Amino acid sequence: MRADLEIIQQWIPENSHVLDLGCGDGELLAWLKEHKNVSGYGLEIDADKINTCIEKGVNVIEQDLDKGLSNFANNSFDVVVMTQALQVVHYPDKILQEMLRVGRTCIITFPNFGHWRCRWYLATKGRMPVSDFMPYTWYNTPNIHFCTFKDFEALCHEMQMQVLDRLAVDGLHRNNLGSRLWPNMLGEIGIYRVARNVVKLA
Amino acid sequence: MAHVFPENSVGLVSPKVARFDQPLALACGRQLNEYEIIYETYGELNAQRSNAILICHALSGHHHAAGYHSVEDRKPGWWDACIGPGKAIDTNKFFVVSLNNLGGCNGSTGPGSRNPETGKIYGADFPMVTVEDWVHSQARLADTLGIEQWAAVVGGSLGGMQALQWSISYPERIRHCVAIAAAPKLSAQNIAFNEVARQAILSDPDFLDGFFIEHGTTPKRGLKLARMVGHITYLSDDSMGTKFGRELKTSQLNFDVNNVEFQVESYLRYQGEEFSGRFDANTYLIMTKALDYFDPAAVHDGNLAKTFAHAQANFYLISFTTDWRFSPARSKEIADALIAAKKNVVSVEIDAPQGHDAFLIPITRYLQAFSGYMNRIEI
């Protein structure tokens, strides 16, 4: 299994009901169904990936994340997952809001634009970073909303989200010492588990 | 030497007729004491009887879904693009049953049949039948064929509605429900188009209150008009534009209302003419009414999720981007209800310019997505 999915699956309880936003070829859902008796749906818009989902027996729904999740009821999923899609959606804050509405907990992964290599590239060349990890030119990229870990956490705070778990990993999804000590500089990918803040009554 | 059919064709087929003499109670309150259902089968029923697929037809469809009736046939059955060896509904794997619904005009008991109680042609006396009635009659056909549970019930348009109804009426008898270009109920606009078609037939002087066969006439003009208006709703603006545009039949405008001037007029007239020669006007009225009446959620206060609460099938919904008769939004209504009911559902929206008719056309992504799903069905 893809390394980030291997990490995520540990945060998904057995028998839970899961919504996977941008589920790709359905790898996570297929694995969870087989090993953890997890039910649920994946949303995807790429025709080839949808076909792969169908062939794997994954419940895939052809739906564009940018059109929202209004067809899903409040609290209807135990976990809502969105891997590597935060930076490609038109309104990251709105999709997060929606995820928190339909799911009890949410798992989000995204690339860290605050990683030292991005900073180095921008500082020395004065141009938008292009690397193996982020191979797109600024004018032709699906990634339209890059952020750093700090940016993301500031948004979490603003949206009164509670960060339950977070893991900064390198490009190979290893949680090494560097990314543990100084995540916003040394972590390449962020894996967050968040929930709505429980408002305590006075 | 005999004519050679394509390798992926089921080849020569011949229909069979099943006779039923147990009364069938209908939603309208009346009953059919005895009736016949004409059907065809393709492929072999396996020993476990677990590989049977039921094909439900749309408004003007019938039992002849695949293969050829004779070597002289110009065209194969209406869904030959999707049924055959190696096709989406693979007859090497599945035993396919395709029937003509009650009230039809292709061999099953319908308005053109003789009423055994009066000895006369039914005509307008044929009882109104609904999607639910059809599903009950199909269940009886399954019984006679020894099929306890369908691997899948598959249909497009009105056929998709029957597949949905199967999952509701007989949850334990259907493992997969494949509803293509369907809707959970008709919109006011859908009903309006049907009403125009019915008025065309009812106002034809040759209709004779539905007893035209007895009088040796056919309301051809009415049927032709009904088909013309229906046909417009099967195509998309795009596909009509590409196919005909404003192309003229003649070299110039004639400034004459009696002339066929635009190609699209000629096409519609041809379609209407051909249809009026082969279809029964009372059947057309019944089929459009069955469409109008279909609303399985009505008995659940309009709550579609509740309607599917006891369904056990896995659902597969396919819609087409330019279909404005039963648009992707209508399939989405079904998908959303199934999601709310926590049912297994796969839902795809195929980018296709052909409108509602796309479900009959071999579009690459459609066939891929269709066969991908069918191949996974365990038998």
Half-sphere exposure of B300 (CA within 13 A, CB side): 14
Q: How many CB pairs under 8 A join A and B?
A: 47
Across A181-191, b (16+ Cβ under 10 Å) vs e yields eebbbbbbbbb
Is any Cβ of chain A less than 8 angstroms from the Cβ of B372?
A: yes
Q: Contact, B309 vs B341, CB < 8 A?
A: yes
**Which amino acid, one-letter code, is at A95?**
I
Q: Contact, A132 vs A138, CB < 8 A?
A: no
Q: Read off the pTM.
A: 0.95
- The secondary structure of residue B150, as a DSSP letter, is B
Q: Do A51 and B372 touch (CB under 8 A)?
A: yes
Q: Do B372 and A54 touch (CB under 8 A)?
A: yes
Select the residue of A57, A60, A61 nearest B376 (Cβ to Cβ): A57
Do β-strands B35-42 and B95-99 pair in parallel, antiparallel, or remain unpaired?
Answer: antiparallel
Is any Cβ of chain A less than 8 angstroms from the Cβ of B336?
A: yes
Residue B203 annotated among the catalytic residues of the structure: no
Measure in Å the smallest separation between the Cα of A47 and chain B Cα atoms: 8
B97 phi and psi angles, rounded to 5 deg: -115, 130
pLDDT score recorded for residue A177:
78
Is any Cβ of chain B less than 8 angstroms from the Cβ of A16?
A: no
pLDDT in tens, B29-67: 999 999 999 999 999 999 999 999 999 999 999 999 999
pLDDT in tens, B144-155: 999 999 999 999
Contacts of A199 (CB under 8 A, 6+ apart): none
- pLDDT over 70 at A194, yes or no: yes
pLDDT in tens, A95-135: 999 999 999 999 999 999 888 888 999 999 999 888 877 78
Q: Contact, B102 vs B137, CB < 8 A?
A: yes
Least trusted range by pLDDT, from A79-83, A184-188, A198-202, B122-126: A198-202
Minimal CA–CA distance to A24: which of A2, A45, A1, A40?
A: A45
Which one of B9, B60, B157, B319 is the catalytic residue? B157
What percent of chain B shows pLDDT beyond 90? 96
Read off the pLDDT band of B124 (50, 70, 90). Answer: very high
Select the residue of A41, A54, A63 nearest B373 (Cβ to Cβ): A54
Average pLDDT for residues B91-111, to the nearest whole number?
98
- pLDDT over 70 at B79, yes or no: yes
Do β-strands B314-320 and B345-350 pair in parallel, antiparallel, or remain unpaired?
Answer: parallel
pLDDT score recorded for residue B1:
40
Please provide the distance, in angstroms rounded to a whole number, between the alpha carbons at the two ends of chain A. Answer: 46
Q: Scanning the structure block, which residue is given the tokens 């209150």?
A: B209
Is any Cβ of chain B less than 8 angstroms from the Cβ of A48?
A: no
pLDDT in tens, A44-78: 999 999 999 999 999 999 999 999 999 999 999 99
Q: Scanning the structure block, which residue is given the tokens 């006075």?
A: A202
DSSP-assigned states of every residue in A136-195:
-BTTB-S----B-HHHHHHHHHHTTEEEEEEEEE-TT----HHHHHSHHHH-SEEEEEEE
Residue B323 annotated among the catalytic residues of the structure: yes
Measure in Å the smallest separation between the Cα of A60 and chain B Cα atoms: 5
- pLDDT over 70 at B3, yes or no: no
Q: Do B342 and A71 touch (CB under 8 A)?
A: no
Gap between the Cα atoms of A177 and A150, Å rounded: 19
pLDDT score recorded for residue A199:
58
Select the residue of A41, A47, A55 nearest B339 (Cβ to Cβ): A41
Gap between the Cα atoms of A15 and A33, Å rounded: 9
E strands, B207-282, where? none
Mean pLDDT for all residues in chain B: 96
- pLDDT over 70 at A198, yes or no: no
- pLDDT over 90 at A197, yes or no: no
Q: Do A72 and B339 touch (CB under 8 A)?
A: yes
Gap between the Cα atoms of B41 and B280, Å rounded: 24
Q: Which residues of A touch B369 (CB under 8 A)?
A: 47, 50-51, 54
pLDDT score recorded for residue A117:
87
Is any Cβ of chain B less than 8 angstroms from the Cβ of A50?
A: yes
Average pLDDT for residues B330-337, to the nearest whole number?
98
pLDDT score recorded for residue A201:
55
Gap between the Cα atoms of A75 and B216, Å rounded: 64
pLDDT in tens, B7-23: 999 999 999 999 999 99
pLDDT in tens, B297-306: 999 999 999 9
Measure in Å the smallest separation between the Cα of B306 and chain A Cα atoms: 14
pLDDT in tens, B192-231: 999 999 999 999 999 999 999 999 999 999 999 999 999 9
Please write down the HEC assignment for all residues of B6-44: CCCCCCECCCEEEEECCCEECCCCCEECCEEEEEEEECC
Q: Contact, B197 vs B172, CB < 8 A?
A: no
Q: Which residues of B touch A72 (CB under 8 A)?
A: 339
Select the residue of B345, B368, B375 nearest A59 (Cβ to Cβ): B345
- pLDDT over 50 at B133, yes or no: yes
Is any Cβ of chain B less than 8 angstroms from the Cβ of A75?
A: no
Least trusted range by pLDDT, from A83-92, B156-165, B188-197: A83-92
- pLDDT over 80 at B312, yes or no: yes
Q: Do B368 and A39 touch (CB under 8 A)?
A: no
- The secondary structure of residue A196, as a DSSP letter, is E
Average pLDDT for residues B2-9, to the nearest whole number?
82
Which one of B137, B323, B327, B357 is the catalytic residue? B323
Q: Contact, A168 vs A84, CB < 8 A?
A: no
Nearest-Cα residue of chain B relative to residue A61? B347
Select the residue of B336, B344, B348 nearest A50 (Cβ to Cβ): B348
How many CB atoms sit inside 10 A of residue B337's CB?
Answer: 22
Minimal CA–CA distance to B45: which of B98, B100, B93, B99?
A: B93
**ipTM of this complex prediction, to 2 decimal places:** 0.93
Residue from B319, B333, B338, B339 whose CB has the most chain A CBs within 10 Å, to mutate: B339
pLDDT in tens, B344-356: 999 999 999 999 9
Minimal CA–CA distance to B95: which of B166, B138, B20, B145?
A: B145
pLDDT in tens, A152-181: 999 999 999 999 999 988 877 777 777 787
E strands, chain B, where? 16-20, 24-25, 31-32, 35-42, 52-56, 83-84, 89-90, 95-99, 152-156, 176-180, 314-320, 345-350
pLDDT in tens, B226-265: 999 999 999 999 999 999 999 998 888 888 888 899 999 9
pLDDT score recorded for residue A131:
82
Q: Do A41 and B376 touch (CB under 8 A)?
A: no
pLDDT score recorded for residue A170:
80
Select the residue of B340, B342, B347 nearest A62 (Cβ to Cβ): B347
Is any Cβ of chain B less than 8 angstroms from the Cβ of A31?
A: no
Residue B49, token pair as written in the block: 């009887």
Q: Contact, B304 vs B319, CB < 8 A?
A: no
Q: Do B369 and A50 touch (CB under 8 A)?
A: yes
Q: Contact, B355 vs B328, CB < 8 A?
A: no
Which one of B62, B63, B136, B356 is the catalytic residue? B356
